[in-house]
Structure 1
């Protein structure tokens, strides 16, 4: 990973936190109540760069790279995909926050980071004070809706979840075109204009690493197996998210492909609130002003 990448978080510290046998990279800055920001696929903590400085005026912001992504370490792949389960990621990130001195914190996650976020709220309810999930439905809810229309829209769920090393090697043979196609196809405008040149430099730098490509595929393999099982177990046991929950989605995003995302989320968090923003899938970069305002209003309560 290059160490001369553009600094998109001026005034923030860069930290590498060792958690058991892995290390997690994060940028942290600001003051006030701690707020953990988690990114999605195929991105890193950089996806928050348009709004993190403004959030840091009100909160102690921690923008972290998920295991296997960006500049965090790459856990080993396994037959049960356990290291990439959202339960495992949530546990590691919760421990990272404890090491940083944050015993309780606010939490926002986009895409895959949203899956880590809601799993953390379910598994560690005493740690999370409020949670925001951006442009997702729960993992099991997506699988239950995987008909022809929905499958075509999120085809990557099936492709990336194929056994290793098939999708890993296919992507590694041409990583940048795959990355740019994926980013472009999920925006409202079907182009890359919402992503700054410096942010794309970051995205391209880490997505060229075959080990990290394999890690991101393993993330989706976990989603198709162990994560889905964890979701269904939580539903069977009647577990719910017990803290205030904000649901944001793009009016041209992926989550908007089904009936009201808010109605789906209220199965998991009965008092959840939320709204659609003028955006495709990448709310923090396509609609930074609206995303900031929504998060500030919710977390500033």
Structure 2
């Protein structure tokens, strides 16, 4: 993927060694540290439209999660623990410590937002502010799964099936699966919201068998160990100690069903949020609306 376009001019590129393997990241900007975590089926590239403005006020760390983009893809194991959001969160703490950041704010989208709130629960005191984009907690997704939600998020159960079923199904035409999936989750129901250069990154990754397997492991973890971790926290009454801002697309995945703010209430006592006019891929579909909503919230954090 070395021939792909650089969508982060002026940002440094580097690898950081962690227990999850080598993590690739982009690093740039000035001000208080802000970690940005991407979702499925994307990579760090999804932040390219909001990064320049955020970098005016924050030092950005923009990694590829384990198994995605250019980061290492560890073996999943029988319990899928290497792809649990707990393991991903721990790797991100290692990354930030290596760069010299003991405290930071965090914004995550999709699977990255699940690693983000897990980091907040497992490492209290690390996060100054937390922004989650277009998700509700994993606990809520599974415990409130009905016919309508199951049809909407069919990939949650399909990709979580034992290997090699989803790998074989998607691997037959991975670019078609990616294009169809991403288009179906936008407000316009096509690929017009995405920069073609970013799409080239996403297609290259899912076309690699080890990346595709890692994505399936991510969802297998989501249906098993991630859910168990959420259930344990809910049962114990654990909550996030930092303020949480939930932002979702008016045509995104959380917008259909229970109110996203109601869904977050059990885990986030310091909660606020808003919807923006777009589909699931908020940072690419509506970058200016996202910036207008989240930057005032992030400005209230540690300087």
Q: 2:279 is paired with a residue of what secondary structure?
A: coil
Distance 1:275 1:295 in 2: 10
Which segments of structure 1 move beyond 3 Å, counting only runs of 4 or more?
none
How many angstroms does 1:206 deviate by?
1.3
* 1:101 alignment partner in structure 2: 100
* 1:158 alignment partner in structure 2: 157
**Structure 1 pair 290–21 and aligned structure 2 pair: CA distance change class (3 A):** closer
Distance 1:125 1:258 in 2: 30
Alignment of 1:115-154 (within 5 A): 115-154=114-153
Distance 1:285 1:259 in 2: 25
Distance 1:13 1:249 in 2: 30
1:55 matched to 2:34:
no
1:234 matched to 2:230:
no
Once the two structures are superposed, residues 86-117 of structure 1 have per-residue CA deviations (whole angstroms, 9 ceiling, x without a partner) of: 00000011111100111110000000000000
* 1:38 alignment partner in structure 2: 37
Distance 1:67 1:138 in 2: 20
* 2:25 alignment partner in structure 1: 26
2:133 and 2:248 in contact (8 A); partners too:
yes
How many angstroms does 1:251 deviate by?
0.4
How many angstroms does 1:270 deviate by?
1.9
TM-score, length-normalised on structure 2?
0.98
* 2:267 alignment partner in structure 1: 268
How many angstroms does 1:133 deviate by?
0.4
Q: 1:163 is paired with a residue of what secondary structure?
A: coil
* 2:292 alignment partner in structure 1: 293
Distance 2:89 2:164 in 1: 25
Distance 1:262 1:231 in 2: 17
* 2:211 alignment partner in structure 1: 212
Distance 1:295 1:14 in 2: 25
1:85 matched to 2:84:
yes
How many angstroms does 1:168 deviate by?
1.0
Distance 1:231 1:105 in 2: 23
Structure 1: tracts of 5 or more residues without a match: none
Q: 1:257 is paired with a residue of what secondary structure?
A: coil
Once the two structures are superposed, residues 188-220 of structure 1 have per-residue CA deviations (whole angstroms, 9 ceiling, x without a partner) of: 110000100111111111111011000000000
Once the two structures are superposed, residues 238-269 of structure 1 have per-residue CA deviations (whole angstroms, 9 ceiling, x without a partner) of: 10011011000000000111121011111111
Q: 1:255 is paired with a residue of what secondary structure?
A: coil
Q: 2:255 is paired with a residue of what secondary structure?
A: helix
Distance 1:245 1:171 in 2: 35
1:8 matched to 2:39:
no
Equivalenced residue count is 300
TM-score, length-normalised on structure 1?
0.98
How many angstroms does 1:18 deviate by?
0.6
